[in-house]
Amino acid sequence: MSDLANLEKSALAALEACKDEAALRAWHTRYFGDNGEVTQALRGIGTIPSEQRRAYGQEVNRIKGSLLTAHEAAKERIKEQALAESLTSGALDVTLPGRAVPRGRLHVATRVMRRIGAIFADLGFQVYRSREVEDDETNFGQLNMPPHHPARDMWDTFHTTTPGVVLRTHTSPGQIHVMREYCPRPIRVILPGMVYRYEQVTTRSEMMFHQVEGLAVGHNITMADLKGTILAFARRMFGQEREIRIRSSYFPFTEPSIEVDVSWPVVDAESERLTKGTGWLEIMGAGMVHPVVLRNGGYDPAQYSGFAFGMGPQRMTMVLYGIDDIRLFWGNDLRFLSQF
Ligand code: PHE
């Protein structure tokens, strides 16, 4: 009986010393395995003299029960300890801000082009894409500028090594392509795209920049339609307060020809400089399509009339955002690009 008391005492102490599940398993084998100490004590019941056997058997079974209960409790304790440990040691700080993934976005020039496209879409104009590499004849000749016409001096031109093939100096040759494709149907299109000029690059002029050409051809189209279209555009683009101002001008492919300014209140030094202190910003050249150009497109000028305009989105963007150097647009400097 005293052996049994010792067995219980030492088994409980050994259980207390178990620190993990492996130790717990070893403990279980040591006492309850095939040759375990408790197993052997149970087997020994039969060898005990009969008068002590009953008390001995009861005591062995009581010890077995109490040790198994204690073992269950220890298992639970070790499980909780392991959980608490994993929570504190591999601590995950859920309040730590995540790492931001750098996100690309559309170039400011693309965004302004899309805004212009959306405004003209509301006004009923479709987008027409026209080539950037043009022949001399379409870029100039068909637009009423035969070779050696002095008006060609208005455009500094990139000539390719193929004679008569140039990079378009303006989007106006697109007018010829649209008219030839649509004739004799009425036309209302804008032609956005890149144009190229062999120019000294400065803060105000680039050798490549966007233009948005507009063309409307139909019956009874007048200067009033042109004015109304431009005013509607300027108000949507620059705000409800904008007025437009029309000055007479000259282009070989429009008659009469105009240049259009949009009112720009001089509120700070920036806009003072961009509008040269006048409060007006020039946004486009425009006019009524010249009869020669209509005829080149296949339309009879006795029956059809039309207006055309060509605007520079980069200039408008400069004023909208106070950008003071046109070279920033294609300079690919992220410090500039990420501001929009
Ligand atoms: N193509 C002219 C330019 O680039 C602008 C323009 C377009 C003028 C259409 C009148 C009509 O300067």
Q: pLDDT (tens digit, 9 = 90+) per residue, 41-60?
A: 888 888 888 888 888 889 99
Q: Would the pLDDT of 308 be above 90?
A: yes
Write phi, then psi, for 124 (nearest 5 degrees). 95, 15
pLDDT in tens, 256-278: 999 999 888 777 777 777 778 88
Report which of 207, 210, 191 is spatially closest to residue 199, judged by C-alpha positions. Answer: 207
Predicted TM-score (pTM) of this structure:
0.71
Kindly give the distance from the C-alpha atom of residue 143 to the centroid of ligand 1, in angstroms, as a whole number. 10
Tell me, using a 6 A CB cutoff, whether residue 251 lines ligand 1: yes
Contact 238, 271 (CB under 8 A): no
Report which of 200, 150, 147, 140 is spatially closest to residue 170, judged by C-alpha positions. Answer: 140
pLDDT in tens, 30-42: 999 999 999 998 8
Kindly give the distance from the C-alpha atom of residue 247 to the centroid of ligand 1, in angstroms, as a whole number. 14
Write phi, then psi, for 286 (nearest 5 degrees). -160, 180
Confidence of residue 192 (pLDDT cuts 50, 70, 90): very high
Confidence of residue 221 (pLDDT cuts 50, 70, 90): very high
For position 133, what pLDDT does the model report? 97
Q: Would the pLDDT of 103 be above 90?
A: no
- DSSP lists the bridge partners of residue 218 as 305
- DSSP strand pairing (208-218 vs 244-251): unpaired
Distance of CA 195 to the CA centre of its chain: 25
Pocket mutation for ligand 1, best pick of 167, 168, 172 (most atoms within 8 Å of C-beta): 172
Confidence of residue 184 (pLDDT cuts 50, 70, 90): very high
For position 220, what pLDDT does the model report? 97
Kindly give the distance from the C-alpha atom of residue 284 to the centroid of ligand 1, in angstroms, as a whole number. 7
For position 151, what pLDDT does the model report? 84
Tell me, using a 6 A CB cutoff, whether residue 172 lines ligand 1: yes
Distance of CA 215 to the CA centre of its chain: 31
